[in-house]
């Protein structure tokens, strides 16, 4: 099947970003130096919004009540425009829009000299994430992953004159490169066993194969999950996260913590449920049940290690990095509980998706507050929050709501998201993971509340008595994030029922 010119309209969300990235980079080249590069930031946001508009348009077309568009499959099934991809693309685009928005006027000229580059590099990174969500083929999946990874290496090192930023960036290149090599090595075995790079064809070939490939199937799964575990920073593959988050500019850190991580989850979901589900199904104990078990073990270790290591952090960025490790664990639970149990369970995706939305806005809000603190004190130490309540009561109030949501206390989006994941685990009777989840959430209260204690209890703050250095975009980001976190807590059923309505794991995704 060749790509027809008329098929290109289905790629309009991606093509918008491609064209915008090219045009904006040329603009950056030809515009005279005296023109403020902020205009490029606004143009990038505009192109992301247009792209999101196209995604919404195709989401509507796919779900018309009469005569809906069938999921589009391009380039010999290697690129799909389906509800799964569109839902993830919305998360990526909204996340990137907010990351760019809070950087405008907030990033310091002396830190990031090339602000034009800084703004438009987010476009190819998001494009890579979108390709990852849409791929139905190992090659496109890998190209998307590398487009996202390589661009984020550059973004982490964009503070060219800062040693810390250089070092974080180099560490990210090395760890990211090794992780890519692992994923690729696992993919090469998948190709070798089946002779195909298409995900559904691989799955069919693996289901039909006899037991002689069992060892190779295990090897490929271990290699791929180790590589992807590194990309989403799940323990025990999390060691890079704290260093890289600390060295990168704060908006870039927010991008890594939200969009980049969500893209990793899109890829894991596709691989686990399209390639590995049902493998070895004819035997007594099918192999793929072991794979779900492995994912749950990684989830458990991420929750335990992330929450314990966060306890001793004195730097807010490192604390949020370990909190991100723990959250990667929570998000892996719906993937790992699988579909096969005494009770039929198929809401894995909506559980994960809801918590992903909540996680996106909690983190955007937290990093926006951190940016304001960094602008005031010049570093991201925890003691910079001392007495925040007395300096900026409204920001402190919003931040308390975001922290409560991160800790998972009612009534916030984070709480409802965790409850959904927990109920899913209980429904399929995987009790041990539910117990670990509850216990580690209790541990996490300690470090989230130590931040709140800093804000309210410490009045003899030595850090700074200055007024908090807020910019308008940062305040708007903080308040929108807080509002959405609260709204998700009070009206979760709208999101859940919408996702349920348009996405069915069995009919839309597995094509049974």
Query: What residues make contact with another protein under the rule CB under 8 A?
Result: 138-139, 142-143, 146, 149-150, 153-154, 157, 160-164, 166-171, 173-174, 177-178, 180-181, 184-185, 187-189, 191-197, 205, 242-243, 246-247, 312-315, 318
Say which residue the tokens 């180790």 belong to: 226
φ and ψ at 36, to 5 degrees?
-65, 130
Tell the smallest beta-carbon distance from residue 263 to another protein (Å).
16
Cα Rg of the chain, angstroms: 22
The CA distance from 435 to 383, in Å, is: 33
On the 0-12 / 13-18 / 19+ scale of CB atoms within 10 A, 179 is buried
Q: Where is 54: in which H helix or E strand? A: helix 38-62
Residue number, 166 or 504, with CB nearest to another protein: 166
For another protein, the closer of residues 58 and 322 by Cβ is: 322
Give min distance, CB of 382 to another protein, in A: 11
Closest contact distance (angstroms) between CB of 242 and another protein is 8
Minimum CB separation of residue 139 from another protein in Å reads: 5
Burial (CB < 10 A; 0-12, 13-18, 19+), residue 211, is exposed
Q: Which is nearer to another protein, 313 or 475 (CB)?
A: 313
- Looking at beta carbons only, is 64 or 163 nearer to another protein? 163
**CB-nearer residue toward another protein: 313 or 363:** 313
Q: 320: cis peptide before it, omega within 30°?
A: no
Q: How far is the CB of 110 from another protein (least distance, A)?
A: 15
Among residues 109, 92, 88, 110, the alpha carbon closest in space to that of 100 is found at 92
> Among residues 142 and 273, whose Cβ is nearest to another protein?
142
184 burial type by CB count under 10 A (0-12 exposed, 13-18 middle, 19+ buried): middle
In the complex, least distance from residue 161 CB atom to another protein, rounded to whole angstroms: 7
How far apart (Å, rounded) are the C-alpha atoms in residues 152 and 146? 9
Nearer to another protein, 195 or 342 (CB): 195
- In the complex, the smallest distance separating the C-beta of residue 94 from another protein, rounded to whole angstroms, is 27
């Amino acid at each position: 099947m060749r790509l027809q010119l008329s098929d290109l309209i289905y790629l309009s969300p991606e093509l918008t970003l491609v064209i915008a990235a090219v045009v904006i980079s040329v603009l950056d080249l030809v515009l005279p130096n005296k023109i403020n590069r902020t205009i490029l930031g606004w143009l990038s946001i505009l192109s992301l919004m247009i792209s999101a508009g196209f995604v919404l348009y195709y989401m509507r077309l796919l779900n018309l009540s009469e005569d809906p568009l069938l999921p589009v499959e391009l380039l010999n099934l290697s690129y799909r425009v389906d509800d799964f991809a569109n839902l993830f693309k919305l998360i990526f685009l909204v996340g990137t829009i907010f990351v760019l928005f809070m950087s405008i006027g907030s990033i310091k000229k002396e830190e990031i000299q090339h602000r034009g580059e800084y703004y438009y590099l987010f476009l190819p990174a998001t494009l890579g994430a979108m390709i990852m969500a849409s791929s139905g083929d190992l090659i496109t999946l890998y190209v998307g992953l590398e487009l996202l990874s390589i661009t984020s290496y550059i973004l982490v090192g964009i503070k060219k004159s800062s040693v810390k930023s250089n070092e974080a960036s180099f560490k990210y290149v090395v760890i990211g490169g090794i992780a890519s090599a692992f994923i690729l090595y696992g993919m090469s075995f998948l190709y070798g066993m089946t002779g195909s790079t298409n995900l559904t064809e691989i799955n069919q070939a693996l289901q039909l194969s006899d037991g002689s490939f069992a060892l190779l199937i295990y090897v490929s799964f271990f290699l791929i999950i180790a590589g992807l575990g590194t990309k989403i920073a799940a323990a025990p593959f999390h060691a890079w996260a704290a260093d890289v988050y600390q060295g990168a500019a704060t908006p870039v850190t927010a991008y890594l913590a939200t969009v980049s991580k969500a893209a990793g989850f899109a890829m894991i979901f596709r691989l686990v449920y399209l390639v590995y589900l049902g493998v070895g199904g004819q035997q007594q104990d099918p192999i793929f049940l072991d794979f779900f078990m492995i994912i749950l073990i990684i989830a458990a270790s991420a929750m335990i290690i992330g929450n314990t290591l966060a306890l001793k952090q004195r730097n807010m960025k490192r604390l949020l990095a370990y909190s991100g490790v723990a959250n990667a664990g929570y998000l892996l639970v719906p993937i790992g509980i699988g579909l096969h149990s005494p009770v039929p369970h198929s809401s894995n995706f909506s559980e994960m998706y809801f918590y992903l939305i909540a996680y996106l806005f909690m983190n955007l809000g937290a990093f926006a507050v951190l940016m304001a603190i960094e602008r005031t004190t010049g570093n991201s130490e925890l003691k910079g929050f001392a007495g925040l309540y007395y300096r900026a009561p409204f920001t402190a109030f919003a931040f308390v709501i975001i922290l409560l949501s991160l800790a998972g206390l009612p009534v916030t989006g984070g709480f409802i998201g965790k409850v959904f994941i927990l109920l899913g685990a209980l429904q399929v009777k995987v009790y041990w993971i539910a117990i670990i989840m509850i216990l580690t959430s209790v541990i996490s209260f300690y470090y989230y509340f130590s931040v709140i204690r800093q804000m309210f209890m410490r009045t003899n703050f030595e850090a700074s008595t200055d007024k908090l250095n807020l910019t308008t975009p940062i305040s708007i980001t903080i308040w929108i994030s807080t509002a959405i976190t609260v709204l998700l807590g009070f009206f979760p059923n709208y999101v859940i029922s919408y996702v349920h309505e348009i996405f069915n794991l069995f009919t839309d995704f597995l094509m049974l």
